[in-house]
Amino acid sequence: MKSMLIIDGSTIVARLVAEIFEKRGWNVVVCNDRASAFGRLGEDARYDASLVSNCVPGTNGLQLIGLIRALEHLRTTAVVMVTGTRDVKEDALASGADAVLSEPVNPMALIWIVEKHTA
* CATH number of the domain within which 111 lies: 3.40.50.2300
CB atoms within 10 A of CB 47: 25
What is the average pLDDT across 20-29?
Answer: 98
| pLDDT of 44 strictly over 90 | no
pTM here is: 0.95
DSSP lists the bridge partners of residue 1 as none
Q: What is the span of the domain harbouring residue 46? A: 3-118
Number of domains in the chain: 1
Q: How far apart are CA 8 and CA 61, in angstroms?
A: 9
Average pLDDT, integer, range 14-18? 97
Asked if 28 and 21 touch (Cβ cutoff 8 Å), the reply is yes
CA atoms of 119 and 108, how far apart (whole Å):
16
